[in-house]
A and B are shown apart, each in its own frame.
Chain A
Amino acid sequence: ETGVTQTPRHLVMGMTNKKSLKCEQHLGHNAMYWYKQSAKKPLELMFVYNFKEQTENNSVPSRFSPECPNSSHLFLHLHTLQPEDSALYLCASSQETGAPLHFGNGTRLTVT
């Protein structure tokens, strides 16, 4: 148990579907992150939220839309995805002062 919970663990969606990934942490952390891990590629940072404010958008296409309603919850809304968006999507959190990242176990997304 990492303290960061991601749901669902697996998701299969068509290119015209709309779905959302959810991340929840009760570690008292102030920063939350979305990372993408494609097959045989390094983890790619997508978005960063610090105290609910988005502080980083790493040139992510607009078909990915993050939402951070409070410091404990983070969503990634998905719409009109492409097959190349199939990947493991990882959520992480950390203290504002720079403590290590705590990752969830990810959502394995398959776009058909």
Chain B
Amino acid sequence: DAKTTQPPSMDCAEGRAANLPCNHSTISGNEYVYWYRQIHSQGPQYIIHGLKNNETNEMASLIITEDRKSSTLILPHATLRDTAVYYCIVRVMNTGFQKLVFGTGTRLLVSP
């Protein structure tokens, strides 16, 4: 699986947009970008994934650069409950089981 690089920590003011970057310069053409987050004392939670087009759901937006070497997860209006560790993972979407390899992620702190 392609490796990803994320900043270890970021801060964001409540109500502002949180933009979390991820570099995946060795990504292959058939590898998807996944984002998960882990709130303290809970298991990881799926947020969003995409291949090459930008994606949006009720939780976040995912912007993937045209060369697919990097992406940004956007939380449009961060709340205190968005404080968590955010993981960016790239994985081939095959027909078998999901084998996701987690890195160390970005610790996002949302402050009042």
Residues of A within 8 A of B (CB): 2, 4, 31, 33, 42-43, 45, 48, 50, 55-56, 90, 92, 94, 96-106
Contacts and interface: CB of A to CB of B under 8 A. Distances in A.
B77 to A, nearest CB: 23
B112 interface: no
B45 A2 contact: yes
B76 interface: no
Given A42-B104, A98-B93, A98-B94, A4 B99 contact: no
B43 A100 contact: no
A56 B45 CA distance: 22
A55 B97 CA distance: 9
A9 B22 CA distance: 32
Contact of A48 (B42, B44, B94, B97): B97
Given A31-B97, A31-B98, A48-B99, A100 B104 contact: no
Contact of A98 (B45, B98, B104): B98
A106 B42 CA distance: 7
B101 interface: yes
Contacts of B93: 98
Q: Which of A33, A56, A94, A100 has the most CB of B within 10 A?
A: A100
Nearest to A40: B104
8 contacts: A31-B97, A48-B99, A98-B94, A100-B46, A101-B36, A101-B98, A103-B44, A105-B41
Interface residues of B, number: 22
A33 B105 CA distance: 20
Nearest to B100: A101
B96 interface: yes
Contacts of B102: 42-43
A2 B43 contact: yes
B99 A92 contact: no
Given A42-B103, A42-B104, A100-B34, A50 B43 contact: no
A18 B49 CA distance: 40
Nearest to B47: A100
A102 B96 contact: no
B44 A45 contact: no
